[in-house]
Amino acid sequence: MAIDQQGPALPLERGELSAAVIGYLRGDGALPGSDPVQGAAPYGDDLQLALYVCYELHYRGYAGVDAALEWDPALLGVRASLEKRFLTALRADATRHDDVDEALAELLVEPVHGTGVSHFLQDEGELWQVREYAAHRSLYHLKEADPHAWVLPRLWGRAKAGMAAVEFDEYGGGRAERVHAQLFADLMADLDLETAYGHYLDAGCAEALATVNLMSLLGLHRRLRGALVGHFATVEVTSSPGSRRLALAMKRTGAGPAAEFFYTEHVEADAVHEQVVRHQVIDGLLQEEPHLAADVAFGIDATGYLEGRLGDHLLTAWRAGKSSLRIAAV
C-alpha cells in the first residue's frame, strides 16, 4: 500500500453517509448502500461532506489513507450515487436559462443596492466575521484554480488557449510566491488563522462545501465541461466588483496588508480574465461545440444558486449575532 504521509487529517463525520465513507478510508467500515444516498438531503451536511471527502482523494488525499483508494471501484460507485443525487437536485432547483448570453447578461449587471456578503462585509462587517468568511473560503482558495485545471485536456483551440492563459495567472505566472493559493494563505496569516490546507473543513458549513464540490464535480467529468466553463465564467465575471468590496472590508476592519492585497490583486486580474473567459473560452468552446450552450448556462445558474445559499447562511447567522461556523474554530 502507498499510504499518504502528508495531507490533512480525515474530518469528523456528519451523518450516516459521511461516517461510512470516512470509515472505509480508515479501513474499518463498509460503504453505504443506495438507500441512504437517495434519502439524504442533497445540500445537507452529510451528503456534502461524504462527497467532499471522496473528491479530496483527487487533490492531496488524507494523512494515513492508502493513495490507491483514489481509484477504488467500490468508492467510485458510491461517489457516482452521491453526485447523481446532488446534480439532479441542482438541475431541478438551479436551472433558469437555456441561453448563454442571457445568463451572462445578468451577471454583468451590478444591483444599485447590493445585499450580498461582500456588500455586508464592506459596509458593516466586523473582524470576526471577516475571519469566519476566510475560514469558509479557505476550503476552495487553498486549492484555487486546481478544479478548473481538469478541463484543459477537454478543450482545444481558442477555448484551451484562453483557459490556459487565465490558469497561468492563477498559478502566479510561474512565481511560487504569487500563486493565488499562497496569496490566500498569506491573507489567513494576517487574520491570525491556521494556514494548513484543509484545516477548517470540520468548521465549514454544508453550503460552503457545496460550492467547492460543484467545481470538483464539473471538473472531473468530461461530459460536464460546458458547465465547468459556465462556472468559471461566473467566478471571473463577478470576482472583480466583489473583490473590490472585500478589499475595502479588509482595510476597514484592519485585517492586514496581505489580506487587503489578495483582493486588490483579484480586482485587476479578474477584470482582464473576464474578457478572456467571455470572448475566448466561451466563444471558442461554443464555436467548436455549439450543443454545449445549455450546459454553459447551467454552470452559470448552478454557481449562482449555490453561492446564494452560502450567502443566505452567512448573513442569517451574522445578522443574528451568531457564528456561521459549524464548530468554534477561529
Please compute, for residue 73, the number of CA atoms within 13 A of its CA located in the half-sphere on the CB side: 0
pLDDT of 112 over the 80 cut: no
Q: How far apart are CA 121 and CA 243, in angstroms?
A: 11
Range 144-150 average pLDDT: 95
- The candidate with the shortest Cα–Cα distance to 238, out of 104, 137, 135, 123, is 104
The verdict on domain 98-319 having CATH code 1.20.910.10 is yes
Convert the pLDDT of each residue in 172-202 to its tens digit: 999 999 999 999 999 999 999 999 999 999 9
- 111 has a pLDDT exceeding 70: no
Per-residue pLDDT, 328: 87
Distance between terminal CA atoms of the chain? 36
Average pLDDT over every residue of 162-166: 95
**Number of neighbours of residue 68 by Cβ within 10 angstroms:** 11
What is the percentage of the chain residues whose pLDDT exceeds 90? 86
pLDDT over threshold 70, residue 241 = yes
Please, are residues 200 and 188 in contact by the beta-carbon 8 Å criterion?
A: no
Average pLDDT of the chain, as a whole number: 94
Residue found under cell 447578461? 105
Q: Is the whole-model pTM more than 0.85?
A: yes
Contact 233, 217 (CB under 8 A): no
Please, are residues 264 and 254 in contact by the beta-carbon 8 Å criterion? no
Q: Tell me the three state secondary structure of residue 259.
A: helix
Q: Which helix (H) or strand (E) holds 96?
A: none
For the chain, what's the residue count?
330
Domain ranges of the chain: 16-92, 98-319
pLDDT at 91: 98
